[in-house]
Structures are given as structure tokens and as C-alpha cells.
Structure 1
């Protein structure tokens, strides 16, 4: 089978479960990974025959994709902030919206003067994408990252090592009241915790529901802010007086999260993401001058 014939078959097949443009992008990504041919080479090499071994790899990948498995899991990696990161079904696939959260931290003007050597904690690190991106953006940052999942931490550590990012990883349950945490006095605490309610599952694509780790996505309808409440309890004893919190949020609960922050004596700014949704919040202690 030629490259063009195989590619056309891929796109036609995937178009039954994805929009055509997305089906094309997924197909290009798989072909670049499996036969080392990017889209600019297709006009030149489209009539080349695909070796049997490569054809079998393409066929197996298509079988998994047609079952709804995300291409990132099929290939075993994703991209975040220009970094190639390993992913598995033990971690969420890094999202572009989360890149915006990292950008917000790096561009925060109030941190500029004291940015060198910032102590940063990333709670619920998953693949380690936030922690690694921040550490590589400024190697002077002292970064600690936590997750409850041992499997997720294994992936995060591999990614950090591969990227050359020196990060302290700790297995830690933010919902536990007995933290016994070995670090304190953080200048920045950042988190992209689970925030999708169980009742929102019906609106989600099956490739998320069937393959991404539910414990990293969902919260109960009766307590949708459970992780934010725990994070704020933790912050009481682990954030410096002038420190900042950066959180990714469910836009449905932006106002409720702001109220939680006010109760903890924080003032906050809510920011929209690229899709015009209130997706991020930054908060600082209200400081009373004498």
C-alpha cells in the first residue's frame, strides 16, 4: 500500500468519530511517528510503498484509534509548552489551557523582582507538565511536585529526567488531613486538580471518559470544590505571606471559588482561556498595612 492510499484510508476511517480536520491532524501525527514522514513530504513521497512492518504498525494504531483511544496514548507522548512528554493512561493528557496557566505565572509582573529562586509547589502534577515547564523556564526556581498516584509520579519523574529538570517529587494526598509535608514557605502554589462534576460526564467525548484516569478528572456533584477546599487548608501553613496561588478551575464554579478565597482572606483575579471560558484564578493574601 502506498503512503497516500494508507493516509486517505486513515482519514476516512477516523472521520467517522472525529471532525475531518481533526482526523487529518491525527493521521499526520501518526504517520510522522510511525513512518517518519511529515506532511510536507507527502506530495513528494505519497506514491512510495510502505514496508510491511510499518504498515502493520499503522494498522494496529488505527485499530486503537477507532476504539476512541486518544492519539497521545496510542503514541505514548504528548506536547506541552514545546516539550515532548511521555503519557500513559495513568496521567491526564496535558491541555493547551494549562499552558496558559504556566504562561500567567511566568508573566506575572508582581513576581518579577523576586522571581529568581522562587519556591514553587505543583499539586496533582500528573505527567509533571506544569512543574517541568516552570523549572525549564527558569532553572533557579525550586520546584516541588506532588501526586497521590504512584504510577503518575513514575511518569512525571521520567519526564523530568528526560527533559533535564531537577524537581522534588513527593507522593501526597491533598485530601488527607495528615499532611506531614517536608517542605513549606512556598512563593507559588499551582494546581490543576480534578474539577469536572459527575453530572458533566454525558457532555464529554468518549475518548476522555473511556481512557483518561477518572480520579484525575471527576469530583462528586455534592462537593464539587472538594479539592479547592483542601488546597486552601494546605495553603494556610505552606504559602508565604506574599505568596500566590494559581489554579485551573471549572468555569461553572468560578464565583464559588472566589468566595472560598475571600473566606481565607485572599483577593483573586479570574482569567479567561483561549476558548473565552473562565478557566484560571490567581489569588494573593490581603495584607493590612499598619
Structure 2
């Protein structure tokens, strides 16, 4: 999960690079998880599987960093299901994050603001202008969720998409912030069970498929090992987006409507 550095203490060490961790490595770097120590790590099957560890890949950008986790098959149904279930926990939140980004960008462009511009104040000023004398109400549903209540029949057509996207963005933010802690905890638990998962594969007597199954398991756990950090970043990013929405909403609504 990072670059290689050479230790120059001796000529031998200079010829044998060793891996160092790099927290900036993309989620799907392709590098396997670290081999476990103890009896299991010394087994012939596990040693064979480790020979398949691919080399580190160059650090990618944001698009690669936020890639989905797609578990490789281990041919042991109980192991595959456990890894797939936890990959889904991550992927579901990732999809909400991507949808949130699209929704906020649509909100901006509908109100004439460049989607690359972060502050939303000009959007709410434009929304206020378009509403004119039409009144809308803001309801603070939860700590991280606001909703603009409106009747489409009473609204100018040119404000309905913006109001709809405002509400959609708030719902997505609430879901991301609410679901992230339990997802992080659950994924961290399955990562700690890597030895158990590998023992299940070794006990399945997969014969010639055993090394590939172990290799896939190690790579899957490696992907999940990086997921909690990404999820925490997504949660922080969503909190920031909510703060921007609150700041902009102050231009359109009374402070007592915004505060819980």
C-alpha cells in the first residue's frame, strides 16, 4: 500500500527493498493485505499464496480512490458472502456520496452557479429572487437533515428542480452520516478475522484452486482494510457539504427555522 524505500545500512539491504505503508494509496491499489503471523502464516498453502502478491501500482487520483470494492471469488461460499456483504456496506455509502456530489452540482447549475464553485450563497440569493413573493418553509428534520416544504402546484416551474435537489442532498447527507459509523465498525471486525477466513479456505480442500483462493481472500481483505479511512473521509466531506447548505439557507430562512 505504498512506495518502496531502500535501507542503506549494508550492501545486502540496498539490494533488497522493503515495503512501507502510505495512507494516501488508493483504495484498490492491487496490493494484498499483510500476511498474518503465527502457525497459519507458516503453512505451505499460505506461503504459496503470498507469492502471487502483485507489485504496488502508482498512486491514482480521486476517481480511483473512490472506486468500488469488488471482491474476487475464493470458492468458499461462507467466506465469499462475508466479504461481499462488507463490500456492499462500503459500496452503498460510496454510491450515496457520488449521488450527493451530482445532486449538489445540479442544484448549483440550476441556479446559475458554476458547479466547481464551492460556496452556495449565490445559489440561495438566486433562489430567493426566483421565489419572489411565494413562501416556502424550512423544516429541520434531524441534526444533519433539512427539508424545504413546498407544494409544486404553488411553485414557479424554474425553482422546483432546485428545491427538489436541496431536499435530496439533505437526505443523502443524513444517510451517509448515520450509516458510516456502523459500517466502519463492521468492516474493521471482518478485517481482524482475516486469519479465520484463510483457515476456512484451507479447510475447504480446494486442491489446485487453493493458492488462488487464498490470494483472492488476502486481496479482498486488503481492499476492505482501506475502506474505513475512505468512509471517514466521505463522512467528513458530507458534514462540510451540510454546513455549506446551512450557511446558504440563512439567506432564505429565519435562524430559528434552521437551528434545532
TM-score computed with the length of structure 1 as normaliser: 0.27
Find the structure with the greater CA-based Rg: 2
Q: Structure 1 or 2: larger strand share?
A: 1
TM-score computed with the length of structure 2 as normaliser: 0.29
Q: Structure 1 or 2: larger helix share?
A: 2
